[in-house]
Amino acid sequence: MGFDQYHEPPEELSAETRTFVRLCTSLTEEAEAIGWYQQRMAVETDGEARAIMHDAQGEEFKHFCMDLEFLLRRTPLWREIAEGILFRDGDIVEHGEEAEEEATEGAAERGAPLAGGESLGIGSLREAVA
């Protein structure tokens, strides 16, 4: 089995970073599978076979969401940007630009950690005070 999910020598990466990368790879694979099932269902004429694929695609939706939630929990900056974009009506691009700007400025002020870093990521606690 190869280790081509890493772009850097795995032995130089921390355990946290390797886990982070594994879940990023898994997220990509789930998204690919969702796309594959979508194509298969589009061309399949047998209704029973299509129903099975539909069910299988649902599984991939679940896996994708679990992977994503894990990564968002481990990466506060990513989570903050996602919160500004996901499950909102309106212009997606506009929400994306606003969320990125607000989140990155806020993270820099708080001294937030980089994704996959080894510190506890505590930084400033000014916002934690009521």
Partner 1 sequence: MSHLLREHAPITEGNWELLDSEARERFAPALAARKLVDFAGPHGWQYSATNLGRVEEIDDPPGKGVVGVQRQVLALVELRAPFAISRAELADADRGAEDADLEPLDAAAHRIAVAENAAVFHGWKAAGITGIVEASPHDLIALGEDCERYPRHVAKAVDALLSAGIQGPYGLALGPDAHTRVLETSEHGGYPLLEHLREVVGGPLVWSPGLRGAAVLSVRGGDFLFEVGEDLSIGYESHDAGAVNLYLEESLSFRVATPEAAVALT
Torsion angles phi and psi, residue 35, rounded to 5: -65, -40
Judged by CB under 8 A, the stretch of 23-31, 36-44, 46-54, 120-128 that binds partner 1 is: 120-128
Contact map string, positions 6 to 45, toward partner 1, x by CB under 8 A: -----xx-xxx--x--------------------------
CA 20/CA 11 separation, integer angstroms: 15
Q: Is the dihedral of CA 37, 40, 42, 48 positive or negative?
A: negative
> 22, 3 in Cβ contact below 8 A?
no
Which window, 28-36, 46-54, 89-97, 119-127, contacts partner 1 (CB under 8 A)? 119-127
User: In the complex, what is the shortest distance from the CB of residue 107 to partner 1, in angstroms, rounded to a whole number?
Assistant: 12
- The reply on whether position 118 binds partner 1 by CB under 8 A is yes
Crossing angle of helices 47-74/15-43, nearest 10°?
160
Binding site for partner 1 (CB under 8 A): 11-12, 14-16, 19, 110-111, 113, 118-126, 128-130
